[in-house]
Amino acid sequence: MLKHDYMPVSQDQPISSEAPLQLLLFVDGRPKSRQQVQRIRAYLTELKTGYQFELQIIDVGQQPYMAEHFKLVATPALVKIHPEPRQIIAGSNIIGQLKNWWPRWQTAVDTYVQLQEDLQERLDESDRVVAPQPTINSVAASAELIRLSDEIFRLKQEKEKLQEQLQFKDRVIAVLAHDLRNPLTAAAIAIETLQSNYNIETGQFQRLKPAMTAHLLKQARNQTKIIDRMITDLLQGGRGNDTELPIVPQKMAIGKLCLDVLEELRDRYNAKSQHIETDIPKDLPFVYGDPERIHQVLMNLLDNAIKYTPIAGKISVTGLHRTSQKVQISIGDTGPGIPLENRDQIFENHFRLQRDEGTEGYGIGLCVCQRIIRAHYGQIWVDSVPNGGSWFHFTLPVYPS
């Protein structure tokens, strides 16, 4: 709380809330500090200077923005805010310093008052209508202005954050139909084909060979997984980077998971005649991770690799036991690569390269991947190769044996 102590030194002099000498005393809740503050206030009360002054006590615990505004590094501290120049006295010997500075402050007040009186006399003699001169601002008013400035700054930040969220929502609405249409159409075609060939009486699929039936069922399942992943990315990306990402780590075989994800995406890369190259050592150690989350990371990275690798291009998946504590997984492609100046930005929420503006996606997949890997205390980064293409790498902790 901000407390007021108006301390006149003579009874026949009127008290003004706009005293020429204005002081702030910053205090905290420590017992030792309270004792020092009591001594300072007692000393100020004893001063018989013939000058009125305004002293206000500010608790930094309740009004930290005031301490920040005056750039205080310690309390208690006595601040002379008027007349200018501002001066701060702090440390364990405030009273000793005050004894030294008090005569100088008296001189400054005398000079200020005399200047004000001379100015008023000139204005009276000129017999002209002039604009009213600015008066000394009250300390309480100054404190309130500082508080309001802080509040305005906070509201501006909230406004910018809300505007970003609204822009993201508008962007999602604009592209959602396009992005979901492909997997929805593929899943619908597979289901309709199965339904039109199903004989309720015999319980069999007519005109469909068992291999084709299995393929259509797999296609429908994979497409629904893609839709689920897209929705998951949207929800996680929309929550922002500050939201805690829960993980349930366990012992897992990262090499097998890589191969499983490649199998799930077989139809995608076969449709583009892309060549898959794997180099995953059989003795790659187990890692400590959340299988569902790491599956999500692999699906995102491999989906991007397939999307940006041209027809008949190559996609590589490698595993490396870097140290006794880390396993590194790398996914490479022969696509256009990532410009050097964008390699850090691509992991930011909603960031998209200029070349990607016409492609499907919300620009949040890599942001989600980064959050997942960091939640596992790992790292994720990207490199580009001279002949084109990108290599995405991430590390995970080795499961303790």
Rounded mean pLDDT of 137-164?
Answer: 72
CA pair distance 302, 223, nearest whole angstrom = 15
Rounded mean pLDDT of 272-290?
Answer: 95
pLDDT of residue 45: 79
pLDDT band at 332 (very low <50, low <70, confident <90, very high): very high
DSSP 8-state assignment for residue 131? P
Task: List b or e across 143-170, with b for residues whose CB sees 16 or more CB atoms inside 10 angstroms.
Answer: beebeeebeeeeeeeeeeeeeeeeebee
Rounded mean pLDDT of 14-21?
Answer: 55
pLDDT of residue 340: 76
Q: What is the dihedral of CA 95, 97, 102, 108, to 10 degrees?
A: -140
Residue where the block lists tokens 């699929």 = 205
Boundaries of every domain in the chain: 2-125, 154-239, 250-397
Q: Dihedrals φ, ψ of 295, to 5°?
A: -60, -40
pLDDT of residue 397: 94
pLDDT of residue 359: 46
Q: Which stretch of 4-18, 279-293, 313-327 has the lowest confidence by average pLDDT? A: 4-18
Q: Could you name the CATH architecture of 154-239?
A: Orthogonal Bundle (1.10)
Q: Are 329 and 300 in contact (CB under 8 A)?
A: no
What is the per-residue pLDDT across 231-270, written as a single tens digit (0 to 9) for each?
A: 765 665 555 554 456 788 999 999 999 999 999 888 889 9
Neighbours of 316 (CB within 10 A): 17
pLDDT band at 286 (very low <50, low <70, confident <90, very high): very high
pLDDT band at 158 (very low <50, low <70, confident <90, very high): confident
Using DSSP's 3-state secondary structure scheme, residue 330 falls into: strand
Q: Are 229 and 302 in contact (CB under 8 A)?
A: no
pLDDT of residue 145: 64
Identity (one letter) of the amino acid at 233? D
pLDDT band at 110 (very low <50, low <70, confident <90, very high): confident
**Cβ within 8 Å of residue 250, ≥6 positions away:** 288, 289, 290, 291
Q: Are 78 and 39 in contact (CB under 8 A)?
A: no
Where does residue 210 rank: exposed (0-12), middle (13-18), buried (19+ CB within 10 A)? exposed
Q: What is the CA radius of gyration of the chain?
A: 36
CA pair distance 303, 226, nearest whole angstrom = 10
Identity (one letter) of the amino acid at 259? L
Joined together, the tokens standing for residue 367 give: 């942001």
Joined together, the tokens standing for residue 309 give: 């690798």
Rounded mean pLDDT of 364-384?
Answer: 86
Is 135 a residue whose pLDDT tops 70? no
Residue whose C-alpha is closest to residue 331's, from 317, 312, 311, 314: 317
**305 versus 114: which is more confidently predicted?**
305
pLDDT of residue 86: 83
CATH node for 250-397: 3.30.565.10
**301 versus 267: which is more confidently predicted?**
301
pLDDT of residue 146: 65
pLDDT band at 33 (very low <50, low <70, confident <90, very high): confident
pLDDT band at 393 (very low <50, low <70, confident <90, very high): very high
H helix runs in 133-249, sequence order? 139-196, 210-239
pLDDT of residue 379: 93
**336 versus 166: which is more confidently predicted?**
336
Using DSSP's 3-state secondary structure scheme, residue 398 falls into: strand
Rounded mean pLDDT of 195-208?
Answer: 83
Using DSSP's 3-state secondary structure scheme, residue 96 falls into: helix
**289 versus 32: which is more confidently predicted?**
289
Where does residue 246 rank: exposed (0-12), middle (13-18), buried (19+ CB within 10 A)? exposed
pLDDT of residue 16: 42
CA pair distance 38, 94, nearest whole angstrom = 12
Where does residue 265 rank: exposed (0-12), middle (13-18), buried (19+ CB within 10 A)? buried
pLDDT of residue 246: 77
CATH node for 2-125: 3.40.30.10
CA pair distance 376, 374, nearest whole angstrom = 5
